[in-house]
Chains A and B, each alone.
Chain A
Amino acid sequence: QKEVEQNSGPLSVPEGAIASLNCTYSDRGSQSFFWYRQYSGKSPELIMSIYSNGDKEDGRFTAQLNKASQYVSLLIRDSQPSDSATYLCAVNPDLNTGFQKLVFGTGTRLLVSP
């Protein structure tokens, strides 16, 4: 089982719709979770971080975390064509060791059509 799993997509949504991106992780002890956006040929750009169960909102983006279900999601409201990119879910699985590394999913490609 992969440590971090995402549907590769593409997820196609019309402009103005809500895009819902999902991610599951295998390490139950994971404590920190991140969503990055990566445009083709570019480096990942941090969108959101979340550490506690529940929702965290930042502008058009909402991250949702459910540790019991080992599930993280990212909602993008009022999707724009400029949101078309690959969204990477990243998890820091090393609890209490102090070791820092991010384990990434393979990403979900989002396509927002005008």
Chain B
Amino acid sequence: EAGVTQSPTHLIKTRGQQVTLRCSPISGHTSVYWYQQALGLGLQFLLWYDEGEERNRGNFPPRFSGRQFPNYSSELNVNALELEDSALYLCASSRRSGGNTDTQYFGPGTRLTVL
């Protein structure tokens, strides 16, 4: 079974630019989650998508947004990039059982550097 895939692997952008990161979940998984892991910090929850809808959002400004497509793949968009957006962006997927026990499996991540 193929795991979660993310693209691109690395990105270098400058302040003020916009970036789009992509994620494909494990086959059969309908939920996609986005996390940010800045250097020296823990993973911070960004967004949760399920069945094409945004279901939950972390404490991030509106310039972080995304969407989920009918095939359950997802995009994360970050507008007006700031230096502190430099981080590893991780996508995870899970089945959606309706409870609180859905196990999330992570992709390899996209490392974003903002200069």
A: residues with CB less than 8 A from B are 31-32, 34, 36, 42-46, 49, 51, 88, 90, 92, 94-96, 98-107
Contacts and interface: CB of A to CB of B under 8 A. Distances in A.
Contact of B102 (A45, A100, A107): A100
B64 interface: no
A99 B56 contact: yes
Interface residues of B, number: 27
Taking each of B33, B44, B100, B101, which has the highest tally of chain A beta carbons within 10 Å of its own beta carbon? B100
B40 to A, nearest CB: 9
B108 A100 contact: no
B42 A106 contact: yes
A101 B103 contact: no
A45 to B, nearest CB: 7
A102 to B, nearest CB: 6
B106 A45 contact: yes
Contacts, number: 70
**Nearest 6 pairs between A and B by C-beta?**
A104-B43, A106-B42, A101-B45, A43-B106, A99-B56, A32-B101
If over half of B's interface residues share one DSSP class (helix, strand or loop), that class is named, otherwise mixed; here it is strand
Contacts of A99: 48, 55-56
B45 A88 contact: no
Contacts of A49: 101, 103
A42 B42 contact: no
A90 B94 CA distance: 15
A43 B90 contact: yes
Contact of A107 (B42, B48, B104): B42
A91 B58 CA distance: 15
B103 A100 contact: no
A103 B45 contact: yes
B107 interface: yes
